[in-house]
Amino acid sequence: MKDSIKDVKLSVLDLASVLEGFTPADTFKNSLETAQYVEQLGYHRYWFAEHHNMEGVASSATAILISHIAQGTSTIRVGSGGIMLPNHAPLIVAEQFGTLATLFPDRIDLGLGRAPGTDQLTAMALRRDQRDAIEFPKNVKELQTYLSAGNRHGKVRAIPGEGLDIPIWILGSSTESAHLAAALGLPYAFASHFAPAQLYAALSIYHQNFRPSLQLKEPYTMACVNVIAADSDHEAEKLATSFKNMFLGVITGKREKLQTPVDPDNFLLDPIEEAALDQMIRYTFTGSPAKIRAELDSFIDSTRVNELMTVSYIYDQQAKLHSFKLLNELKTL
């Protein structure tokens, strides 16, 4: 049973945030430094999420970033959290991740999402049939076929990719994704860092309906949460103002680069926006190690997840690395 942070694996989701005053080139440098640091700490995975047409997010070419990080590390698993399948032909994804898995054996994860990771206009510019989101289950199965050893006599084959043991994950923010992950017998990751409402219902559906598969014999779940740790609660709250500003941009449609933090006492919000923000970032753990540990232990005890995927929107790179260090130390305290 998973009832505390000592019982779960820790991983990192990197949105490749572009900082105010900096460029995507700086972001990629920071991402590699972060991945190398958390690898030394013993984190299990380092994932990127596919997004498009966002000034503050530089992870649009997700597979290329995965290669960059895998090349600069040696043991941590690297992957997608996720590849937004409606934007891509399944064969292309099979070939790209087959290439990654060939270059970096036993280290690549393929997380798949149903959403486009962008606005509808940009989704159309990605030149995919808008029905592909509806056909997500069909496209997942097609991708599985290309990656299977049994497709060696198929008329369409993924070379490289065919026969490689690339773990596929289903990502989701609703109960619909839970049904699919359970039916296919795949590990399931829930985006509770920005879509908390259906977390418990989705986890319950997944466990109740899980069917063992060749990839996975028993259910395996991951919850993604926001974590901002610092030596004091006040310092963590200050760092968190950057993160809150970013999510306010999502709510209001005024997206921008990640901003510098401000004194939390001066961070005043409109009551309606504050209520919407609090709902959206419900599963955010901010504060000193003692405060975060109690809250995370309660979260793990109630969800029974096998793994925590953590997101840390922190402007200062050294403060971000320190946050990951403090979180990891909770496993040994």
What is the predicted pLDDT for the residue at 203? 98
pTM for this predicted structure: 0.94
Give yes or no for residue 116 having a pLDDT over 70.
Answer: no
* pLDDT tens digits, 139-164: 999 999 999 999 999 999 999 999 99
The tokens describing 32, both together, are: 């590699």
pLDDT tens-digit readout, 210-253: 999 999 999 999 999 999 999 999 999 999 999 999 988 888 87
Classified as helix, coil or strand, 28 is helix
Domain boundaries, the chain: 5-231+284-329
pLDDT at 1: 55
To the nearest whole number, what is the mean pLDDT of the chain? 93
The CATH number of the domain covering residues in 5-231+284-329: 3.20.20.30
Rounded Cα–Cα distance for residues 164 and 94 (Å): 10
Helix/strand/coil for 310: strand
Closest CA to 99 of 142, 147, 168, 148: 147
Distance CA 273, CA 278 (A): 9
Taking residues 69-85, what's their average pLDDT?
96
